[in-house]
């Protein structure tokens, strides 16, 4: 089977009737880029930037981040690299941010909430990203969005960062920007959100957690954690429709995107991109290529 899948290397992910779906890969470190290339992903659909922050005693500075992002972009040539801004909190914690302990961390101070409350942390990352955007096909995406106001605030901060770089005569570019759809709130207002961003990427891990009110970390609840729940699947459809209505694209970067029993259904729903673990890229591509 492995040898058969290898036949799909170097081929586009297109159905027999000509529908193209981008099959990208999820990564969590620079060394993962080798697996992305080995498995011939068409891009990186989710680069979890947390690895730069975890297991450290202080925040990574702008230079360290810039060098890392640039390296990944250059290694990927002109292929799309979607870097997600810091998604820390909940299960991922660091001492130096002083986040403290919470009774309900999954519903707590995490991800974009931290970035908007501590804009210095956010701005350092954005400066590094805008500078790195000169070196490849970068897109930025923002996690855990629940409101239009958050997106407007992000846009203001990005504009401030760009103005600073310009003033300092540091080369930069403003890349494509999208948001993760991983809360039911974002799904319900996706038509408004779609007007403000370039794309949606559905985080089915958190979307399942928040839709079903089931802590994704709680092993006692494993049998109830069902991303195939009709509520989750309908939310995916709503999100795709909301994006398309505004002329934007929508993908899935949660684990469900790699579930090949659903690949046909996602394509029928109109999905534009599936971002999966590098080891799943060719399986998903083969499913797409076998479709009528």
**What residues make contact with ligand PEP under the rule CB under 6 A?**
46, 48, 87, 182, 203-206, 253-254
From Mg ion, ligand PEP, none, interface partner of 215 (C-beta below 5 to 8 A by class): none
CB contact at 8 A, 70 and 108: no
180 touches 144 (CB < 8 A) = yes
Nearer to ligand PEP, 158 or 256 (CB): 256
CA distances from 81 to 20, 52, 137, 203 (A): 18, 16, 6, 17
- Does the protein bind Mg ion through residue 251 (CB under 5 A)? no
Closer by beta carbon to Mg ion, 42 or else 182: 182
Stretch that binds Mg ion, among 175-183, 245-253, 256-264, 275-283 (CB under 5 A): 175-183
For ligand PEP, the closer of residues 158 and 180 by Cβ is: 180
Is the CB of 8 or the CB of 210 nearer to Mg ion? 210
Question: Residues 50, 150, 198, 206: which binds Mg ion (CB under 5 A)?
Answer: 206
For 30, phi then psi, to 5°, come to: -65, -35
Q: How far is the CB of 141 from Mg ion (least distance, A)?
A: 11
Q: Shortest Cβ distance from residue 102 to Mg ion (Å)?
A: 17
Q: 249: which strand partners?
A: 199
Structure tokens at 283: 């399986």
In the structure encoding, which two tokens stand for residue 68, read together?
A: 């890392």
- For the chain, the residue count is 292
203 touching Mg ion, by CB under 5 A: yes
Strand, helix or coil for residue 277 = coil
Residue 45's binding partner, choosing from Mg ion, ligand PEP, none, with beta-carbon cut-off 5 to 8 A by kind? none
Which does residue 198 bind out of Mg ion, ligand PEP, none, counting CB within 5 to 8 angstroms by kind?
Answer: none
Q: Measure the CA–CA gap between 163 and 151, rounded to whole angstroms.
A: 18
């Amino acid at each position: 089977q492995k040898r058969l899948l290898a036949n799909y290397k170097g081929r586009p992910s297109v159905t027999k009737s000509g529908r193209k779906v981008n099959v990208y890969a999820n990564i969590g470190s620079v060394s993962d880029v080798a697996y992305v290339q080995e498995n011939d992903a068409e891009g990186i659909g989710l680069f979890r930037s947390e690895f730069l922050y975890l297991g450290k005693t202080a925040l990574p500075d702008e230079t360290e981040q810039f060098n890392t992002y640039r390296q990944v972009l250059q290694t990927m040539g002109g292929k799309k690299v979607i870097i997600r801004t810091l998604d820390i909190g909940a299960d991922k914690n660091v001492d130096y941010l002083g986040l403290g302990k919470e009774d309900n961390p999954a519903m707590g101070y995490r991800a974009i909430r931290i970035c908007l409350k501590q804009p210095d942390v956010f701005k350092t990352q954005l400066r590094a990203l805008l500078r790195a955007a000169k070196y490849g096909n970068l897109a930025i995406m923002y996690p855990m969005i629940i409101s239009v106001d958050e997106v407007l605030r992000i846009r203001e901060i990005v504009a401030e960062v760009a103005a600073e770089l310009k003033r300092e005569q540091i080369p930069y570019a403003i890349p494509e920007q999208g948001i993760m759809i991983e809360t039911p709130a974002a799904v319900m207002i996706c038509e408004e959100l779609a007007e403000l961003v370039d794309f949606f990427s559905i985080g089915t891990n958190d979307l399942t957690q928040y839709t079903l009110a089931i802590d994704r970390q709680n092993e006692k609840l494993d049998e109830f954690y069902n991303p195939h729940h009709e509520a989750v699947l309908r939310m995916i459809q709503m999100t795709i429709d909301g994006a398309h209505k505004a002329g934007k694209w929508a993908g899935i970067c949660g684990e469900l995107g790699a579930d090949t029993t659903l690949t046909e259904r996602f394509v029928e729903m109109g999905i534009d991109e599936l971002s999966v673990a590098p080891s799943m890229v060719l399986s998903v591509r083969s499913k797409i290529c076998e479709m009528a």
